Amino acid sequence: MKTPEEIIFVFLLAFFLCLILTPLLIYYSRKRGVLDVPNQRASHVVPTPTLGGLPIFAGFLAVLLICIGFRNCVGIHFLVLSLFVLIATGVYDDIVSLRASLRLLIQIILAFWVASQGIRINSLYGFLGIHDLPIVFQYGLTVFVIVAITNAFNLIDGIDGLAGGLGFINMSVMGVLFLLQEQRMHYVICFGMAGALLAFLFFNFRKAKIFMGDTGSLVLGFLTAYLCLKILQFPDSSALTLSGPQRLTVVIGLVIVPAYDMMRVAIQRILKRRSPFSADKTHIHHLLTRTGMNHVRASLSLYFVHVIILLFTFWLSAHYYWQGIFAALTIVVLAIEYPSLLQLRDFFGSITRTVDKSTSLQSKNRFL
CA–CA separation, 164 and 154 (whole Å): 11
Inform me whether the pLDDT recorded for 242 exceeds 80.
Answer: no
Mean pLDDT of 322-339: 65
Looking at residue 352, its pLDDT comes to 56
Inform me whether the pLDDT recorded for 15 exceeds 60.
Answer: yes
Bridge partner residues of 35 (DSSP): 49
Using pLDDT thresholds of 50, 70 and 90, give the confidence band for residue 199.
very high
Q: Which residues contact 153 (CB under 8 A, 6 or more apart)?
A: 163, 166, 167, 217, 218, 220, 221, 224, 258
Q: How many CB atoms lie within 10 A of CB 321?
A: 19
Could you give phi then psi for residue 39, rounded to 5 degrees? Answer: -130, -170
Looking at residue 367, its pLDDT comes to 45
Q: With helix as H, strand as E and coil as C, how does the chain read?
A: CCHHHHHHHHHHHHHHHHHHHHHHHHHHHHHHCCEECCCCCCCCCCCEECCCHHHHHHHHHHHHHHHHCCCHHHHHHHHHHHHHHHHHHHHHHHHCCCCHHHHHHHHHHHHHHHHHCCCCCCECCCHHHCCECCHHHHHHHHHHHHHHHHHHHHHHCCCCCHHHHHHHHHHHHHHHHHHHCCCHHHHHHHHHHHHHHHHHHHHHCCCCCCCCHHHHHHHHHHHHHHHHHHHHCCCCCCCCCCCHHHHHHHHHHHHHHHHHHHHHHHHHHHHCCCCCCCCCCCCHHHHHHHCCCCHHHHHHHHHHHHHHHHHHHHHHHCCCHHHHHHHHHHHHHHHHHHHHHHHHHHHHHHHHHHHHHHHHHHHHHHHC
Looking at residue 347, its pLDDT comes to 46
pLDDT tens-digit readout, 18-37: 999 999 999 998 888 888 77
Looking at residue 1, its pLDDT comes to 60
Inform me whether the pLDDT recorded for 355 exceeds 70.
Answer: no
Is-contact 303 310, C-beta < 8 A?
no
Looking at residue 353, its pLDDT comes to 56
Bridge partner residues of 132 (DSSP): 123
Using pLDDT thresholds of 50, 70 and 90, give the confidence band for residue 68.
confident
Using pLDDT thresholds of 50, 70 and 90, give the confidence band for residue 351.
low
Q: What is the pTM of this model?
A: 0.87
Check residues 337 and 88 and name the one with the higher pLDDT: 88
For the chain, how far is it from start to end, CA to CA, in angstroms? 92
pLDDT tens-digit readout, 272-295: 777 777 777 777 877 787 777 888
pLDDT tens-digit readout, 79-107: 999 999 999 999 999 888 888 889 999 99
pLDDT tens-digit readout, 130-186: 888 999 999 999 999 999 999 999 989 888 889 999 999 999 999 999 998 888 899
Looking at residue 345, its pLDDT comes to 52
CA angle 114, 318, 144 (to 5 degrees): 25
Looking at residue 44, its pLDDT comes to 56
CA–CA separation, 92 and 72 (whole Å): 30
Check residues 269 and 2 and name the one with the higher pLDDT: 269
Looking at residue 339, its pLDDT comes to 58
pLDDT tens-digit readout, 211-224: 998 999 999 999 99
